[in-house]
Amino acid sequence: MHEGIDTATAARPADRRMRANALRMLAVDAVEQAKSGHPGMPMGMADIAEVLWTGYLKHNPADPRWPDRDRFVLSNGHGSMLLYALLHLTGYDLPLDELKRFRQLHSKTPGHPEHGVTPGVETTTGPLGQGIANAVGMALAEKLLADEFNRPGHTIVDHRTFVFLGDGCLMEGLSHEACSLAGTLGLGKLIAFWDDNGISIDGHVQGWFTDDTPRRFEAYGWRVIRDVDGHDAEAIDAAMRQALAPGNRPTLICCKTVIGWGAPKLAGSHDAHGAPLGSDEAAATRAALGWRFGAFDIPAALRQQWDAGAAGAIAQQRWERRLAEYASEHPALAAEFRRRVAGELPQGFSENCRRWLAGVATASNPVATRKASQLAIEALAPLLPELLGGSADLTGSNLTNWKASRTVTAEQGGNYLHYGVREFGMAAVMNGIALHGGYVPFGGTFLVFSDYARNGLRLAALMRLRSIFVFTHDSIGLGEDGPTHQPVEHAASLRLIPNLAVWRPCDQLETAVSWRSAVERRDGPTALLLTRQNLAAQGGGAERAALAARGGYVLAEAPGGRPDVVLIATGSEVALAMEAKETLAERGLAARVVSMPCTSVFDAQDADYHRSVLPQGVRCVAIEAAVPDPWRKYVGLEGRHRPRPLRRICARHGAVRAFRIHRGACCRRRGGCRGKFQSIGGNNGARLDAAAARSCGGERLRRAGIQRQQHGADPRHHAGGR
């Protein structure tokens, strides 16, 4: 049991039941008032919550950001009213009025818990499975931070991560990814409670969920406590004590519960899951529970029992004292610890960055941006010990490791995670790490598999987390892996996620700028889209770093500053645009080249800047080896697709030459590949080119010993080769 927690309140069963019923009735009343919501889960898990929150959880309602608090994650986020009731009753800044405004716009009690909206909500949950995966990240961060900062006689990092989860979370594949990793990494301070009520939305789960969950978790290497009666406080308490026994296995406590417990007609039915009980059933529940109080009425004596303010303050004060002792013995470490948990960058970071970028600006060798990213990591890692890298089993391809990276194992800390082939798990675990604090996580996979991780990226964006996603093997130059590995729509679809900064840098300098922007960003995640093939350095010196940081800028001006056409390009197509500028000049057309590595950062600039980069009335052409649609916003609406022979691009594209792209070779043969590029004409005559391909001469390719790839109507490029 944690120090500072008053155990006297965990007294008689009748008191415990009363406290649990306070949670139940607040949930029932709030859902009735909102005329929508999920009463069943809070009613079913109230007894477990009462045991955990009054007897074990180390927290201080007055300071929800206390670094050494236990983390509590409600992975079955539809039961949000349980969490709001707990936060309200224990003394967080969540007044009763907010509970009365459950599910209303701008209330602190949204339908599903939202981090950053409600004090004490550790993570946004609702998309099932992600809460438990976030919790794995939190427990991992705690373990690593303890390893890094605790010293003999000084334990300043020592907290647990508790999770509530339901059948839904366990059905989600993500729970497998994350819980399997938690077992391997020995996260002994992670304790999950399974709400084993046998019900999900469609009814009794026997028809769709018959796993042997305890054995499943034992196979992951978890400690499993089976068959706990989730309505028997003593049984739950006994399970808790077992779970707290030291060890390096995470714990799953399997609690048999009844959804909607206490509701005479609806208990045990999926009808209690996601709709108000109705006034008659709510009244009958009151009677059945012996709850003599009106809606939202909690007697003062009961409130007093719930209040965790005094115990929380004592627990935090004790920790502050320990931190002060630590600071007197290890002043530098203590200062670093404070900086890290506050998420601040080190002093002098921007000056160091300026020097680093000045060096990068002199680089003139062609380099793949994935390699440029590794060079950036190499430069940043000594400046930022909080960088916690990793890859979903593609380290050698993503180039996410660096010279001083050290693999994390169950036995030892480090700064690099082999997430295994678990893209979604990686994203959600990274989010948990970012939420915990103390680390800036980054993780890599192929861009084409960002789809697997997508909802994790979305939640990182919603929660404004500093998670950095390294997506390599972008577009042309991918290799011969074929359409399954060709990210055609990914840049566009990632840009659609609000608050996700998507960078597609064109060379080493832009890659360095995007990395700096990602680590400096305090209000959201970043995706870095990086090439496998070398890209030419675009020169321009250190001033270009400042321009690139604006998301879009004039890379090469038209003669006399009066462009007939503006070529907008990103990433691997910037070099192509630069070549096109020369070709156009030969034909008497003055072209300006705009590099736009990050459209959202460019969009955030002021209107004058936009006009200075994209002057009104001048035709624009956008060039990106991907689906063309998003570029209409820059080049106009009345576009139509205009096929372009791929060979022209292939013949010009440095990548193709560098990587001996077989299809490129095929294209160059007369009558060979009939692959096309597409372009869009805009309302001002603007056009947009995007990599596109129609069918290839399959027979011809086979003869050339090249595996046939299917090309549908979707635009796809023809890059192949090693």
Ligand X SMILES: Cc1ncc(C[n+]2csc(CCOP(=O)(O)OP(=O)(O)O)c2C)c(N)n1
Catalytic residues: 423
Nearest residue (CB) to ligand X, 424 versus 449? 424
Query: Contact, 241 vs 2, CB < 8 A?
Result: no
Residue 167 lies near Mg ion (rule: CB under 5 A): yes
HEC sequence for 196-246: ECCEECCEEHHHCCCCCHHHHHHHHCCEEEEEEECCCHHHHHHHHHHHHCC
Residue 510 lies near Mg ion (rule: CB under 5 A): no
Residue 255: CA count within 13 A, CB half-sphere: 33
Please classify residue 325 by burial: count the beta carbons closer than 10 Å to its beta carbon, then call 0-12 exposed, 13-18 middle and 19+ buried: middle
Which of the choices Mg ion, ligand X, none does residue 273 contact, using the CB cut-off of 5 to 8 A by kind? Answer: ligand X
* Cα–Cα nearest to 24, from 35, 32, 34, 36: 32
- DSSP one-letter code for 499: T
Which of the choices ligand X, Mg ion, none does residue 126 contact, using the CB cut-off of 5 to 8 A by kind? Answer: ligand X
In terms of DSSP bridges, do strands 501-503 and 526-529 run parallel, antiparallel, or are they unpaired?
A: parallel
Supply the minimum distance, in Å, between the C-beta of residue 243 and Mg ion: 21
Which of the choices ligand X, Mg ion, none does residue 122 contact, using the CB cut-off of 5 to 8 A by kind? Answer: none
Supply the minimum distance, in Å, between the C-beta of residue 269 and Mg ion: 12
Question: 108-129 in b/e burial notation, b at 16+ Cβ within 10 A?
Answer: bbbbbbbbeebebbbbbbbbbb
Rounded CA-CA distance 600/17 in Å is: 52
Nearest residue (CB) to ligand X, 166 versus 664? 166
- DSSP one-letter code for 148: H
Supply the minimum distance, in Å, between the C-beta of residue 79 and ligand X: 6
Nearest residue (CB) to Mg ion, 1 versus 201? 201
Nearest residue (CB) to ligand X, 200 versus 538? 200
Residues 188-207 that bind Mg ion (CB under 5 A): 197, 199-200
* Cα–Cα nearest to 675, from 661, 686, 658: 661
Rounded CA-CA distance 293/290 in Å is: 9
Query: Contact, 250 vs 190, CB < 8 A?
Result: yes
- Which residue in this structure is represented by tokens 């890298």? 389
Query: Contact, 621 vs 688, CB < 8 A?
Result: yes
Supply the minimum distance, in Å, between the C-beta of residue 166 and ligand X: 3
Q: Quick one: CA torsion of 49, 51, 56, 58, rounded to 10 degrees?
A: 30
Residue whose C-beta lies closest to ligand X? 166
Nearest residue (CB) to ligand X, 259 versus 399? 259
Supply the minimum distance, in Å, between the C-beta of residue 199 and Mg ion: 5
* Cα–Cα nearest to 50, from 312, 308, 296, 259: 308
Supply the minimum distance, in Å, between the C-beta of residue 37 and ligand X: 12
Supply the minimum distance, in Å, between the C-beta of residue 127 and ligand X: 5
In terms of DSSP bridges, do strands 534-535 and 367-368 run parallel, antiparallel, or are they unpaired?
A: antiparallel
Residue 407: CA count within 13 A, CB half-sphere: 10
Which of the choices Mg ion, ligand X, none does residue 487 contact, using the CB cut-off of 5 to 8 A by kind? Answer: none
Which of the choices ligand X, Mg ion, none does residue 41 contact, using the CB cut-off of 5 to 8 A by kind? Answer: ligand X
Which of the choices Mg ion, ligand X, none does residue 437 contact, using the CB cut-off of 5 to 8 A by kind? Answer: none
Contact residues: ligand X, CB under 6 A = 40-41, 76, 78, 126-128, 166-169, 172, 195, 197, 199-201, 259, 273
**Number of residues engaging Mg ion in binding (CB under 5 A):** 5
Residue 684 neighbours by CB distance under 10 Å:
14
Residue 129 lies near Mg ion (rule: CB under 5 A): no
Which of the choices Mg ion, ligand X, none does residue 50 contact, using the CB cut-off of 5 to 8 A by kind? Answer: none
Nearest residue (CB) to Mg ion, 66 versus 164? 164
Nearest residue (CB) to ligand X, 275 versus 288? 275
Interface contacts to Mg ion, rule CB under 5 A: 166-167, 197, 199-200
